[in-house]
Amino acid sequence: MVRICVVGPNNITYPKLLLDTGSAFTILSKEILYSIGCNPAYPKRTQRIITGSGYEIVPVVSVKEFNCFGKVLENFEILAHTLPFGVYVDGLLGMDFLGRFDIDIRTFKGEIFIK
């Protein structure tokens, strides 16, 4: 789990995301996106994804700033999808973010290095 900073048009928040190398996309709950002023009801576009329960089409919104591991991306696209009840994170940190950097994940020590 990692804590990030997300800046929208109206607010800033610090959600908890699960680092997921199996996810092609970064996902945030609709509630988090609404709280910073990004409205998933009016998406930039939609994206078809595979979930544990099948295929879904989810909204894609753009946030002003996405800050994770000290790296800041502007106008970063995020999928709006709330994870199932009982999951204690606000979303997933996917390969669309992770693939932009040289990352070393040391699972035994619980360390992540980003260049």
The residues near 108 (Cβ < 8 Å, ≥ 6 apart) are none
Please, what sign has the CA dihedral across residues 19, 29, 68, 72?
positive
Q: What is the CATH number of the domain that holds 71?
A: 2.40.70.10
When divided into structural domains, the chain yields a total of 1
Judge whether 73 and 62 are in contact, CB under 8 Å: no
User: What pLDDT does residue 51 have?
Assistant: 82
User: What pLDDT does residue 82 have?
Assistant: 82
Between CA 95 and CA 20 the distance in angstroms is 8
User: What pLDDT does residue 100 have?
Assistant: 96
Domain containing 34 equals 2-114
Mean pLDDT by 10 residues, the chain (115 residues): 96 96 95 96 94 89 97 97 82 96 91 88
User: What pLDDT does residue 9 have?
Assistant: 96
pTM over 0.85? The answer is: yes
User: What pLDDT does residue 61 have?
Assistant: 97
User: What pLDDT does residue 87 have?
Assistant: 76
User: What pLDDT does residue 39 have?
Assistant: 95
